[in-house]
Amino acid sequence: MDKFDLASFKGLYLKTAREYIDKIEASIEVLLKQPENPDAIMNIYISAHSLSSQGTLIGYKNIESVCSTIERIFKKIKEGKAKVSKDLLTALKDSVIGLTNCVDSIDKENKEIDLSNIKSRLEQL
Amino acid sequence: MNILIVEDDVFFQKFYSQKLLEAGFTVNVAIDGNDALVKARETKPDLIILDIIMPNKDGFEVLEDISKDDELKKIPILVFSTLGQDEDVQRALKLGAVGYVNKTFFDFGNLKAKIEAAIRAKKNLNYAYN
């Protein structure tokens, strides 16, 4: 694998990562009122997929790990194999807080924070 | 060579565009499946790199539309995949994609080799059909 030159792409990464997290947060609010809203489900699925893919490319394993879990959950929901629950939305809200803190930490200190508790909680749903 | 990147994620658009431009390719970007069909007709690319998971019209729908278009179906398509998308890649290959590239594992030598091989293979196939 070629070395990823993060320095020249860090600003763009931070901007797009924050936009995806905002989209997830806005879609959670929609799902609290309309748990089957297809656009909100798709928005979370695509945003989590993008955050996960970016995390893999750059090497942000904690973000990749949490977001690939969200992506898997919402793939099932999108395909009608699972439903949105209150527990899921609560866990997602906490995921948004964790992901926001993690991106802030990357911005300021160039390192991720631990998100393993959030991942475990999502996996238990 | 003229490459059309179909990718909704701005980060991946810019990253891969820059790498391909630096290597001497001409690059155009489509932001989703609908834009892909418009840009493919406008720019007549030598190859399309197509993301699968996109809003509005996903990569599978683009492959289906392209397969029905006599001009566009001559263009080789490489699918942009990620880890865990094996089933999606197989489905894309059945729909006419000639190969795939894992966009989260950046290996430019591999990408360039796949682009050149895909263009060669499609040219040979088109020649055989004609």
* CATH number, domain containing residue B38: 3.40.50.2300
Q: How many CA atoms lie within 13 A of B122 on its CB side?
A: 22
Spell out the domain ranges in chain A.
Answer: 9-124
Tell me which of B11, B20, B106 to substitute to probe the interface with A (most A C-beta atoms closer than 10 Å). Answer: B11
Pick the residue from chain A with its C-alpha nearest to B82: A53
Q: Which residues pair with B28 in a beta bridge?
A: B4
Tell me whether strands B26-30 and B47-51 are parallel, antiparallel or unpaired. Answer: unpaired
Please tell me the distance in Å from B106's CA to the nearest CA on chain A: 6
Q: Which domain holds residue B109?
A: 2-129
Q: Which CATH architecture has domain A9-124?
A: Up-down Bundle (1.20)
List, for residues B57-92, the tens digit of each pLDDT value: 999 999 999 999 999 999 999 999 887 788 899 999
List, for residues A46-104, the tens digit of each pLDDT value: 999 999 999 999 999 999 999 999 999 999 999 999 999 999 999 999 999 999 999 99
pTM: 0.91
Q: What is the DSSP code string of A2-33?
A: PPP-GGGTHHHHHHHHHHHHHHHHHHHHHHHH
Number of domains within chain B: 1
Residue A37 to residue A73: CA distance in whole angstroms = 15
Sequence letter at residue B116: E
| Predicted complex ipTM | 0.88
